[in-house]
Structure 1
């Protein structure tokens, strides 16, 4: 099996305010974008991230060869239980995901 990170140019995650995270998948080419688009299922993303499928917002942007995923943070940014204040570690979970 191939990981998502091996197929794309870059996977990045960051805060989208104190209550949301956003993950950007930069495919780098139209061919890679089409391959990832056909294999990357929102249900699998939810499973890997421990989120509810209905809470995930997905934006497929063919003009940029980018897939953007937004989801609620499991804890509010900066709260005592927040282990990733900047939201950067979520990219690794997605990049290591098998397609």
Structure 2
């Protein structure tokens, strides 16, 4: 087993507008990408569990074979920059993904 942090070349999160956060995971090697993709670990149940989300707040999980990467987009708890927002840029939300075992 390996953790996603060890397999991915880029693992980042950012705003996808003021109401969504997106996480990009890109790989240097196709075999690492397909290992993750084919494992089935990246799915609605897992993402909702590690982010403590209800399924209606998960917007999408999209694999891009041509880019050897995938993207996860979810609704923010509060809009970017509003009172109670702890991460205006959404730049610190990828951490739970880094720890996933594949």
TM > 0.5 fold call: yes
Structure 1: segments with no counterpart, 5+ residues: none
- TM-superposed CA distance for 1:84, in Å, is 0.6
Q: Tell me, what secondary structure is at the counterpart of 1:90?
A: coil
Q: Which runs of 4+ in 1 moved over 6 A?
A: none
Counterpart Cα distance in 2 of 1:53 and 1:11:
22
Alignment of 1:36-55 (within 5 A): 36-39=36-39, 40-42=41-43, 43-55=45-57
How many residue pairs are counted as aligned between the two chains? 99
Q: Deviations over 1:2-46 (max 9, x none)?
A: 211111111010000110000000022210110011232321111
Q: C-alpha root-mean-square deviation of aligned residues, in Å?
A: 1.4
Q: Is 1:24 matched with 2:27?
A: no
Runs of 5+ unmatched residues, structure 2: none
* TM-score normalised per structure 1: 0.90
Conservation of the 8 A alpha-carbon contact between 2:23 and 2:94: yes
